[in-house]
Chains A and B, each alone.
Chain A
């Protein structure tokens, strides 16, 4: 197979993935819009789970009632899986075309980060029901992909010498998985803030109103999910930074040099460290912690996009003219 057709196949796969994701987005939105609040049956299951050791028993007993929007959500999840598979094909084909790990420029980082975000979301969705979150994951992923194919697109080329190292695979892979986890956690933290506000406004004992707030789990559950994702992402991010330092020592002769990318990676690390501390500080573990999780995601985005385009950094591999 020649390079040209590989390139075309990679691009076709990525465009198909975007199309599929757009359909998934519509399905997620339809599921959201189909009017019903979060059904009582599901809430009941959740509370019984947190009640104690009998969770395993009650779980199989209560069968959630069919709710409006459930089918749309299931279709959306299937479409997201399809989009994930297409995107994976696109990234892999890109790597075969370039004859290297497909992580040499911003276009390639972006499509892989989109893949990582979808992957983190889908894996989490297998462990706990996160269909309600789909819309808030698919939208940023679509935006990232849209930006990748329009602004960031570059033809595949060989790597600059500094990138020719097996650390590329280790360091970038860890960072990309973190990108996915930070994005999903940013979404759940943002939703928890909205939902928390709605809960405070709502009359005691009633389901909060509001188009959005009535359709997501209660704020405490959203905070737990955020915490769970970030407890996984923080050690991985630490590892990504340390792996980057080892690589930098080998390529540039120093393991830490306050290059803008390194600085912002450090800031990201500090903000998420603050999040974990806030979670175990009285008076901080609810909304303040959620705000910090949102801030962490913003800082991560600044590191990802801002540093590559605005600052002169050793990490400027944007590949865009």
Chain B
């Protein structure tokens, strides 16, 4: 395939660099990139669904950890994936940058001289000259120049030929395409370093202000100072959800609308707006997206003494398309500590096999199923707990109950009461700032433009030569396609270029068309 590497270090480096920047290597790296992307679509990914990753790990105790150590749950930030795309981009830089120089010089230099024997080229046309050589070449040059060809004449004294070239933008487009891809990658990295993103659940009637502590989850790039996030705030005034009520796709979401009032900064006037899917709110470079919704049952708990120990709307997390939602209440202040696990069903149905399930996502017939637990919530153990999970290792279940809105459950053995007053709705928002995305979009657009140029612009040369043949002065015209995507169409295009010169010469009466016996040689 390739010659053996020379022994010296510099030679070895040069050899390695040539290998890396060769087209074959680029091809192999492209295949590797495609291949390396596959596992991320088959295995759960932490960046997309960390819960599924945890589930996968518990279900596959042997393979899970091995895959985990090899980065298969973070494929797109794993060392091997990064290695492939970094190598690809090094290869790209190594291939494209020298070509920028070459192309720059080519654009500034004259087309190369015409070959000696034009008749050797297929499709060469021969006309009989009826005007002096200089005039013939003048006319040809003018015709070509007005069609934006670059033209040079030679030899220096008493020119007998001209050489013209067109379609330099093909290579320009090619270089723009590849360089734009580099800029896309850089702007993704830039967005990663300077961007941030967080999620928050906001109940109807509640507010949010853009500080780190208010987020349920937040992640920022290395150079983000969370204290410098734009100081906006908003209140979720009303959330409405519409679902399909017909028989087709019953229960599918049809519209989500979050009515919010917001301030761009604490002293700014209050403004009202509607946030919908596909209609985020843009504030000071940050975007507020509506990404989810759910229910927050209003739960009141009294302890043995009858004192109210808990009274709040508790956001439950939807588990399926019909908003079957789960959530917990933890009451560390009662003695003993009390915990409640709840299942909120917006439209309840008691299924013979599945038990209580929700059959529609809208709250047509809501019910709350609960289990109450007594004991130690485990909050003192030091391990951080999720607010959506009840750790029942140190607790005993004291009862099960189903409540409708307005009902109260008296816990067994005088442990207290649990009331279900009704529910509130909540909406979840993703708030994100990505300072790299405009550059990414711009360079992606440039890439498409460059790509189109590099595929559809034809780079070609035309030569016109005046020669003496058998005592007659003839004009020879020929052309070559320097790069070809569309082979036979390209030949047609070249014929049109030659037509252009030929017609100019014939129309000006400087050449006779044609000298028949010389049509094809």
Which residues of A does B touch, CB under 8 Å?
Answer: 49-56, 154-162, 164-165, 224, 227-228, 231-232, 234-235, 238-239, 242, 245-247, 249-260, 263-264, 266-267, 270-271, 273-274, 277-278, 280-281, 284, 299, 307, 311, 319
Contact B248 A155 (CB under 8 A): yes
Q: Which residues of A contact B287 (CB under 8 A)?
A: 253
Q: Which residues of A contact B440 (CB under 8 A)?
A: 255
Contact A238 B451 (CB under 8 A): yes
Q: What interface size band does chain B fall in?
A: 35 or more
Contact A235 B451 (CB under 8 A): yes
Lowest 5 A-B CB distances belong to which pairs? A52-B123, A53-B495, A53-B123, A161-B277, A253-B289
Contact A234 B27 (CB under 8 A): no
How far is A178 from B131 in the complex, measured between Cα atoms in Å?
Answer: 53
Q: List 22 A-B contacts (CB under 8 A).
A: A51-B123, A53-B495, A53-B498, A54-B519, A156-B248, A158-B254, A161-B253, A161-B276, A161-B278, A224-B488, A227-B485, A246-B441, A252-B430, A253-B291, A259-B48, A260-B41, A263-B37, A263-B38, A270-B30, A271-B31, A273-B30, A311-B41
Contact A242 B277 (CB under 8 A): no
**Known A-B contacts A50-B487, A53-B491; A257 and B289 likewise in contact (beta carbons under 8 Å):** no
Q: Which residues of B contact A164 (CB under 8 A)?
A: 277-278
Stretch at the interface among B144-152, B402-410, B442-450, B468-476: B442-450
Contact B249 A319 (CB under 8 A): yes
> Of B48, B125, B280, B491, which is within 8 A of A55 by CB?
B491
How far is A28 from B249 in the complex, measured between Cα atoms in Å?
Answer: 40
Query: Whose C-beta in chain A lies nearest to the C-beta of B287?
Result: A253
Query: Whose C-beta in chain B lies nearest to the C-beta of A46?
Result: B488
How far is A55 from B45 in the complex, measured between Cα atoms in Å?
Answer: 57
Contact A238 B447 (CB under 8 A): yes
> Of B34, B42, B254, which is within 8 A of A274 by CB?
B34
How far is A164 from B278 in the complex, measured between Cα atoms in Å?
Answer: 7
How far is A246 from B519 in the complex, measured between Cα atoms in Å?
Answer: 56
Contact string, B477-521, partner A, CB cutoff 8 A, digits 1/0? 001000001111101101100100000000000000000000110
Contact A238 B492 (CB under 8 A): no
How far is A263 from B42 in the complex, measured between Cα atoms in Å?
Answer: 10
Does B76 count as interface, using CB distance less than 8 angstroms?
yes
Sample of 14 more A-B contacts, CB < 8 Å, known A52-B123, A157-B248, A164-B277:
A156-B248, A157-B244, A227-B485, A228-B486, A242-B444, A246-B441, A250-B279, A251-B277, A255-B441, A257-B48, A258-B41, A263-B41, A267-B38, A307-B41
Does B200 count as interface, using CB distance less than 8 angstroms?
no
How far is A252 from B254 in the complex, measured between Cα atoms in Å?
Answer: 16
Contact A161 B256 (CB under 8 A): yes
Q: Which residues of A contact B248 (CB under 8 A)?
A: 154-157
**Known A-B contacts A55-B495, A281-B27; A263 and B253 likewise in contact (beta carbons under 8 Å):** no
**Known A-B contacts A50-B488, A266-B37; A252 and B451 likewise in contact (beta carbons under 8 Å):** no
Contact A258 B45 (CB under 8 A): yes
**Known A-B contacts A157-B246, A157-B249, A164-B278; A49 and B123 likewise in contact (beta carbons under 8 Å):** no
**Known A-B contacts A224-B487, A255-B437; A270 and B33 likewise in contact (beta carbons under 8 Å):** yes
Contact A52 B491 (CB under 8 A): yes
How far is A27 from B482 in the complex, measured between Cα atoms in Å?
Answer: 42
